[in-house]
Amino acid sequence: MPLRVSGLRLPVGGDENELPERAMRRAGLDPAEVKAAVVARKSLDRRRGRPVFEYALDLHLVDEAAVRSRRGTREDAQVRFVDPVSLPEEPAGSEPLEHPPIVVGSGPAGLFAALHLARRGFPPLLLERGEPMNLRVRRIRRMNAEGVLDPESNYLFGEGGAGTFSDGKLTSRSKDPRSAWVLEEFRRLSGVAEVSFHYRPHLGSERIRVVVGRIRRELQRLGARILFGCRVEGLLLRSGRLAGVRTNQGEIPGEVVILGPGHSARSLVRELLRQGVPIERKPFQMGYRVEHPQGLIDRAVWRDLAGHPDLGIADYRFSVRMGSCSVFSFCMCPGGEIMAAVCDLDHMNTNGMSHTGRSTGFANSGVVTTIEPGAFPGAGPLAGMELQERHEARAAELCGHGLKVPAQRLLDFLEGRPSDDLPESSCRTGLAPVDLRAVAPPPVAEAIRGALPAIGRQIPGFVGKEALLVGPEARSSAPFRILRDPRTLESPAVPGLLPVGEGAGYAGGIVSAATDGLRAAQAVIARFAPRRPIEPSGLRQGEAKRMKG
């Protein structure tokens, strides 16, 4: 068990190699008592106008018992022993399971549910409507180059889910201890040490693909089956009980279905509601996506330190209160690109992503506000989804039902005039000049217009001639929640059905979705008896970044 020393501050340009000695001095240790010093946390404090790095180091001890004896019962928030990250291996249940568990969707929730099931002796059947990663990447390249869209294999559907083509951010505000284990798995599977200690861990789209491929190979080694091109179209219900799923490849039997289909499986959600699966409205976000030259953002955030190698390119966050609502940034992608995140040409939606190098020269971010369930009095549980669809359909119509993204200069949007020309952009499928007030609900458009001056005061140059707005950003969160029991995670009307992840309304990012899938797998394991011998935990130790003392 390491001794963690927190609160070690280092100015930009400072020498990291001095940190182990400082940590040992603060802990009252001699260098001979320490085997290794490992970075446990690295964050950036921007609050005082001049950024300063703050570290926590884990000191791995030669003789832990001797140090504990010397320290006694003394408590110190900045010098304390910490438990290593682990996932307790819960005892399995005893109920027999006739068929393999079915996992629907290979996004973070589905992949981590399937991985934990397979390791614990429950090799699942994983169903993914899209293509394997290599074929999916080819489809997307063709989409960007030639404008040819495959409705089943695109930015939204395919191995890895929508999160594979995103910024690859692994930031999570979840207090669930499983989240730390999920981050450690991402570190192990990616080989990127910073994942486990950086305050805003980032892999990038291509490294997320590597993680997905390694999970697939481990699943196959453990006996899991994966069916690609298998679109789930509904549940098999017999005498009111779950009996499996209906797919475009036929019926598949199963008593347990972990359902993680993502944000965009709208036809499936409608069918679930028709079949009596309880669904409720929930708050969700809508708005636009804004883009600037990355250099402008670097200068606005880092000022005279812009370009410093220790800082890299800048990101930002903002939140502006507008009466009863807030306008805030979402999924900020420094060095990223804007894309048409669509699965058909009748609905246009925008999103942002980035690669590891974050080298496009552009910065983009969602600018959204929350729509509350009460905005639809008397409407059904899918009222929010229907609102999304109406504005996405209007955006597609204005763009000629192609892959060009609706766009407007930010200043023109603010001042209510059309854009005669558009600035250069990272969007590979091109831009179409559109009055963006037409592609979002009027209260959303007006709240964002009203917030722009305040955002510009927070980030100098944000509201300027180089700023581009695109939209709509309609699928940043699910507008409904598929109800489940808080303990068993099962649908109250369909025992054995466990809705998980962002698309079911229970997560808000890659790590939180993966954590939710892991919880569902544990719930299944707690009830049923294993079908195969249990695999040892996949967590590996000893790969963390080490520092010289």
In this structure, which amino acid lies at residue 418? Answer: P
Q: What does each C-alpha distance from 432 to 30, 141, 291 come to in angstroms?
A: 65, 20, 15
Residue 117 tokens, joined = 């099931």
Report the pLDDT value the prediction gives residue 536, as an integer from 0 to 100: 56
- 516 and 501 Cβ atoms separated by less than 8 Å: yes
Report the pLDDT value the prediction gives residue 177, as an integer from 0 to 100: 86
Report the pLDDT value the prediction gives residue 376, as an integer from 0 to 100: 82
Instruction: For 147, list phi and psi in degrees, rounded to 5.
Output: 75, 25
Report the pLDDT value the prediction gives residue 535, as an integer from 0 to 100: 63
What is the three-class DSSP state of 309? coil
Report the pLDDT value the prediction gives residue 71, as an integer from 0 to 100: 86
Report the pLDDT value the prediction gives residue 166, as an integer from 0 to 100: 75
Report the C-alpha gap between 308 and 513 in whole angstroms. Answer: 34
Residue 178 tokens, joined = 């499983």
Place domain 102-281+480-527 in its CATH homologous superfamily: FAD/NAD(P)-binding domain (3.50.50.60)
Report the pLDDT value the prediction gives residue 544, as an integer from 0 to 100: 35
| DSSP element (H, E) containing 146 | helix 133-146
Residues 6+ apart with CB under 8 A from 173: none
Report the C-alpha gap between 154 and 136 in whole angstroms. Answer: 7
Angle in degrees, CA 509, 485, 505, rounded to 5: 25
Report the pLDDT value the prediction gives residue 457, as an integer from 0 to 100: 95
pLDDT tens, per residue, the chain with 549 residues = 999 999 999 999 999 999 999 999 999 999 999 999 999 999 999 887 789 999 999 999 999 999 999 888 777 889 999 988 888 878 999 999 999 999 999 999 999 999 999 999 999 999 999 999 999 999 999 999 999 999 999 999 999 998 888 777 787 777 788 998 999 999 999 988 888 888 788 888 888 899 999 999 999 999 999 999 999 999 999 988 999 999 999 999 999 999 999 989 999 999 999 999 999 999 999 999 999 999 999 999 999 999 999 999 999 999 999 888 999 999 999 999 999 999 999 999 999 999 888 999 999 999 999 999 988 878 899 999 999 999 999 999 999 999 999 999 999 999 999 999 999 999 999 999 999 999 999 999 999 999 999 999 999 999 999 999 999 999 989 999 999 999 999 999 999 999 999 999 998 889 999 999 999 999 999 999 998 877 655 443 333 333 433
Residue 108 tokens, joined = 């973070």
CA 543 to chain CA mean position, Å: 24
Residue 290 tokens, joined = 């804004």
3-84 CATH: 3.30.70.2700
Q: What does each C-alpha distance from 14 to 45, 53, 173, 530, 546 come to in angstroms?
A: 14, 9, 29, 53, 18
Which among 158, 307, 144, 286 has a CA at the least distance from the CA of 228?
158
Report the pLDDT value the prediction gives residue 49, as an integer from 0 to 100: 72
Q: Hey, where are the domains in the chain?
A: 3-84, 102-281+480-527, 284-373+383-473
Report the C-alpha gap between 92 and 496 in whole angstroms. Answer: 16
Report the DSSP pairing between strands 257-259 and 102-104. Answer: parallel
- 395 and 389 Cβ atoms separated by less than 8 Å: no
pTM confidence score: 0.92
Report the pLDDT value the prediction gives residue 87, as an integer from 0 to 100: 87
Report the pLDDT value the prediction gives residue 539, as an integer from 0 to 100: 40
Report the DSSP pairing between strands 319-322 and 125-128. Answer: unpaired
